[in-house]
Chain A
Amino acid sequence: MNTSQYEAPGSVDEAVALLANAKGNARVLAGGTDLLVQIRMGMADPALIVDIKKISEMTTVTAENGGFRIGAAVSGAELNENAAVKSMWPGIVEAMDLIGSTQIQGRCTLAGNLCNASPAADSVPAMIAADMTCTIAGPNGRREASVGSIATSPGKTSLADGEIVVSLFVPAQNATGGDAYLRFIPRTEMDIAVVGVGVNLTLDGNGVCTAARVSLGAVAPTALLVDDAAKALIGTKVDDAAMDNLAAAASAACNPINDKRGTIEFRTKVAGVIARRTAAIALERARSN
């Protein structure tokens, strides 16, 4: 590795300026759990590394409009210890907690998982199901974007040169809403998802689902928001028939690859199974809220 320059600015403006003025390839370092591995394997050779962990705006979780703003450099372990976030959005926190090992949890971040743009990123379907947005800073100022619009294909994002995700915003959960995330991996732990499913649903006083978002990971080039799967739930009491329709819609939305972790046929079928199981947990949470 020939990395020449390392900078740890104290503000977002400084970070953006560094990135904008970089000569050659510049990369943002949050936890480094993807970037440092890529550098060591010779897959990345940035001329400039901008460490964002010294920027207070990016390292804090704050309450906002009934929801939370989560800094881009907040680690999985910190999020897991945040009782307020965990209580409102257990699915997001559980998805985050599935990334890597305990050591990785001390470093990895939601924003890093998002911007690494892996189709199998665990936290992304949970964030899409929760309808999260992010604040992006760049040479032309700040803009908002939905989490689902960031990854465009494996390893590629919609961020322009010099742009950086500053924070993620998760809105308030509905009073009778619940979210969940489950993934399927061939191993018992520390593996890459064959399929990941995030479900967020809201019930009315009669137990009828009034709103739902269902997102699938690892079965297409980017995480999917599956409207048909949501429609299968909305207007139902999330009974067996609705669950069957949900599973069918989830399977139908899959466009996976054949690889050593799973064939197309297997991933497609298991996506439906996991969608149903995830929805069952979200339903349980919504009912108890």
Chain B
Amino acid sequence: MTNLKIGQAPRRREDTRFLTGSGRYIDDLAFDGLVYAVVVRSTHGHARINAVDISDAMKAPGVLAVLTGVDQAAAGIEPMPPYERANPHSGEAFSYPDQYPLAVDVARYGGQPVALVVAESQNQARDAAELVSVDYDAAPAITTIDVAREDPANYCLQWRTGDDTAVAAGMKAAAHVTSMLFHNHRIVTNPMEPRGGVGAFDPDSRRYTLTVSAQSIHNARDHIAVSLGVAPSDVRVVAEDVGGGFGSKNFMYAEQVLVLWAARVTGRQVKWINERSDGFVSDQQARDHTAMAELALDGEGRFLAFRLNGCGNLGAYLTGGMGRLHTDQFAALPGGPYIIPAIHLTVAAVYTNTVPIGVSRGPGYAESSNIIERLIDRAAAEMQLDRFELRRRNLASIAPYAHPMGLTIDSGAYLENFDAAVARACNEFENRQRDAESRGRRRGLGVVYHIKATFGVPVENVELTFGPDDHLTLVTGTQSIGQGHETTFPQILSDLLGVPFDQIRYCDGDTDLIPKGGGHGSSRATSMAGTAMYRAVQDIIAKGRRVAAHALEAAEADIEFHDGRFQVAGTDRDLDIMAVAKLARDAGEEGGRGLDTFHEYIREAHTFPNGCHIAEVEVDPETGTVALKRYTGADDYGTIINPMVIEGQVHGAIAQGVGQGLMERAVYEEGSGQLLSGSFMDYPMPRAADVPSFDLTFNEIACTTNPLGVKGSGEGGAIAGLPAIANAVLDALEPYGVTEIVGPATPENVWRAIQNAAGG
């Protein structure tokens, strides 16, 4: 029965469930009369579909239905709408092909759903799926941005923003201009729990219920409803435990519409669970972005101007909020935390015959941070300046800082964090370098200053209810998919309201429980729901003071609230908040709602989590093997609710970032559009042995634009990891004359870079 404070580190209460196998993941849940769906996916990267013959499949044992693209019109199934259909800055409409849940005439990527087979058992559905015969005419597949750009019809958006004139002037005045080409290679996110869902349809109410493994269920509900041709209120989306998402479960998917449609057709509850091999070709992938960037510097290395011409590969369709990703997140903080007076961006995105791109931890910022941080190292080398000093000279040391692209960064201590990280990372580096040298290895350091603006859905709401059993229940429209909200959110309430931690219940993951919800994404949850909670608590205290004043026969102005008690100032007369809640409820206060409070918060400002990350690698030049030996971080995530939870977030984000830097890359075969890295045999992900223990410190510079002072903590390492690894490897290989690593720093890529530099 203890109260918890913000800043304490209780163990995560959800972990008992997760660690004892009691988690309620989608495939663990029991449903009545369940039948099973298997998706038939396009085996071609690009093909005309002449016919889909389902006759054999329909005759197979146990088969209840086989749905195909041509059935959609009669069933009233509409295309799945992108969440953003126009550039929020220019108003210009995005150009995009209709994406029906099932391909109709054309399959635009390998893995695209072509038919759905529903049968009494999983194996019957699998067997019948093999009997669906699709007559394809294979067509050439475009997989790369460069090829896609040759045809204007492939463009989704083209947008120019910033001050072109000022940039031109800066370039002209510069003592040096560094330019570089980039390709931020594509990754597959691969959350541990594959995507899956169970569709149900109630013929009486004509309501659909989707139980799903997904991250942002209110948004999904609204857009699934459009594709089903019904109102959002006719769709309920429920998510219990979700085994990771990292962004790849943010936006809606075809299968989610299909199982609901199948439930209506069969009158049964229909379950689909992706296998890992399905996930590789159907989970939205991430990154895959090219850029040409130029940085202008004066003689002392001060940044004068930055020009960035970027283009994203969207894959085959415009999914979810991807249009906004390019026009908001990617365009929000180009140049990162460095003062650059003139910036101009050309933003573009094109379609290819590859799995649609979505988001993965740090989207937009991962691309833009990689560009500026790699450019700075290149500029330092070209100008023979120290790359640490070059960063110091240009880091913004003022707060608030008005970034030239429009956002105002409220708070931050960049130089302090930078110096702290550098001091720890560089301590005795020369000794380690010499030691490596004596073993025929090369050590290198890669430094990055990451920053992002937390975006995501700009509205959040919470409902706080005092139950008759002395419990406080929080319902939130954010969603915990493993980040620890079940612990940290009650911790916030326990601190603010003085209610014991154990008496606070946490609820999320049901669109019928609360009207709105942004789920989680862009590290928004604690700043958005935290602010809503804080303001709801202020309402509760105000209401409580009125009730307590009446009960204690005192003036409202004399009632103080602290540690969960309403007290008449200067006396020992007080009432516990639970008692006040009961009094309020019994007295029919607030139309019978008593102290129960709903609060909706509309985002007033972004938060700007930031920090300095430094990777130290050891390269074996004979084999190209790169080992990550040390990783140092000095981060500012604002006020920390629970340091243990933050550390976990940062650890995971670093692993994800260095995974892209060291090994992960999704590779397509040009021409056929086949994903060559379609399993864990071909697509490595980092394991415990690939990362060292991290050396992390946190500088709690409170955010000034939200009452808790929090900044989103989920993504820093995923943004910093790739450029930190690349810069470190290039530092290590500097004596060999290696200036670029293309793709992840795999042994072969590194070895080849060394051979190429040697002219071999």
Give chain A's interface residues, CB within 8 Å of chain B. Answer: 184, 186-191, 260, 262-263, 266, 269-270, 273-274
Q: Is the CB of A184 within 8 A of B690?
A: no
Give Cα distance in the complex from A187 to B748, angstroms. 11
Q: Is the CB of A187 within 8 A of B663?
A: yes
Q: Is the CB of B751 within 8 A of A260?
A: no
- Residues of A within 8 Å of B690, CB to CB, are 187-188
Q: Is the CB of A260 within 8 A of B663?
A: no
Quick one: given A186-B747, A187-B663, A187-B684, are A273 and B689 in contact (CB under 8 Å)?
Answer: no
- Residues of A within 8 Å of B752, CB to CB, are 266
Rounded to whole Å, the gap between the CB of A37 and the closest CB of chain B is: 12
Given contacts A184-B625, A269-B751, A270-B623, 13 further A-B contacts (CB under 8 A): A184-B747, A186-B684, A186-B746, A186-B748, A187-B663, A187-B684, A188-B689, A188-B690, A189-B689, A266-B624, A270-B622, A270-B751, A273-B622
- Residues of B within 8 Å of A266, CB to CB, are 624, 747-748, 751-752
Q: Is the CB of B623 within 8 A of A260?
A: no
Mind listing 29 A-B residue pairs with CB under 8 Å?
A: A184-B623, A184-B625, A184-B747, A186-B663, A186-B684, A186-B746, A187-B663, A187-B684, A187-B690, A188-B687, A188-B690, A189-B687, A189-B689, A190-B687, A260-B676, A260-B677, A260-B682, A266-B624, A266-B747, A266-B748, A266-B751, A266-B752, A269-B751, A270-B622, A270-B623, A270-B751, A273-B622, A273-B623, A274-B623
Give Cα distance in the complex from A188 to B687, angstroms. 8
- Residues of B within 8 Å of A191, CB to CB, are 684
Give Cα distance in the complex from A18 to B751, angstroms. 52
B677 (CB) vs chain A CBs: closest residue: A260
- Residues of B within 8 Å of A269, CB to CB, are 751
Give Cα distance in the complex from A191 to B687, angstroms. 12
A247 (CB) vs chain B CBs: closest residue: B622
CB neighbors of A among B669-706 (8 A) = 676-677, 682, 684, 687, 689-690
Rounded to whole Å, the gap between the CB of B121 and the closest CB of chain A is: 16
Give Cα distance in the complex from A149 to B622, angstroms. 32
Count of chain B residues near A, Cβ 8 A:
19
Sorted nearest first, the 5 A-B pairs with minimum C-beta distance are A188-B689, A273-B622, A266-B748, A260-B682, A187-B684
Give Cα distance in the complex from A189 to B625, angstroms. 13
Give Cα distance in the complex from A263 to B751, angstroms. 11
CB neighbors of A among B610-649 (8 A) = 622-625, 627
Give Cα distance in the complex from A186 to B681, angstroms. 11
A-B CB pair tally, cutoff 8 Å: 39
Give Cα distance in the complex from A187 to B667, angstroms. 17
Q: What DSSP secondary structure best describes chain B's contact surface?
A: loop
Contact with A along B727-747 (1 / 0, CB 8 A): 000000000000000000011
Give Cα distance in the complex from A189 to B676, angstroms. 22
A267 (CB) vs chain B CBs: closest residue: B748
Rounded to whole Å, the gap between the CB of B660 and the closest CB of chain A is: 15
CB neighbors of A among B148-185 (8 A) = none
Give Cα distance in the complex from A262 to B689, angstroms. 21
- Residues of B within 8 Å of A184, CB to CB, are 623, 625, 747
Contact of B748 among A188, A189, A262 (CB under 8 A): A262
- Residues of B within 8 Å of A188, CB to CB, are 627, 687, 689-690
Of A184, A187, A263, A274, the most chain B CB neighbours within 10 A belong to A187
Give Cα distance in the complex from A190 to B686, angstroms. 12
- Residues of B within 8 Å of A189, CB to CB, are 687, 689
Rounded to whole Å, the gap between the CB of B219 and the closest CB of chain A is: 37
Give Cα distance in the complex from A191 to B622, angstroms. 20
Of B625, B663, B747, B752, the most chain A CB neighbours within 10 A belong to B747
- Residues of B within 8 Å of A274, CB to CB, are 623
Rounded to whole Å, the gap between the CB of A262 and the closest CB of chain B is: 6
- Residues of A within 8 Å of B748, CB to CB, are 186, 262-263, 266
- Residues of A within 8 Å of B687, CB to CB, are 187-190
Rounded to whole Å, the gap between the CB of A244 and the closest CB of chain B is: 13
Give Cα distance in the complex from A196 to B645, angstroms. 42
- Residues of A within 8 Å of B751, CB to CB, are 266, 269-270
- Residues of B within 8 Å of A262, CB to CB, are 748
Give Cα distance in the complex from A184 to B748, angstroms. 11
A184 (CB) vs chain B CBs: closest residue: B623
Rounded to whole Å, the gap between the CB of B12 and the closest CB of chain A is: 27
Of A186, A189, A190, A263, the most chain B CB neighbours within 10 A belong to A186
- Residues of A within 8 Å of B627, CB to CB, are 188
A190 (CB) vs chain B CBs: closest residue: B687
- Residues of B within 8 Å of A190, CB to CB, are 687
Rounded to whole Å, the gap between the CB of B567 and the closest CB of chain A is: 59
- Residues of A within 8 Å of B623, CB to CB, are 184, 270, 273-274
Give Cα distance in the complex from A3 to B676, angstroms. 32
Rounded to whole Å, the gap between the CB of A123 and the closest CB of chain B is: 21
Give Cα distance in the complex from A263 to B748, angstroms. 8
- Residues of B within 8 Å of A186, CB to CB, are 663, 684, 746-748
- Residues of A within 8 Å of B689, CB to CB, are 188-189
Rounded to whole Å, the gap between the CB of B255 and the closest CB of chain A is: 24
Rounded to whole Å, the gap between the CB of A16 and the closest CB of chain B is: 35
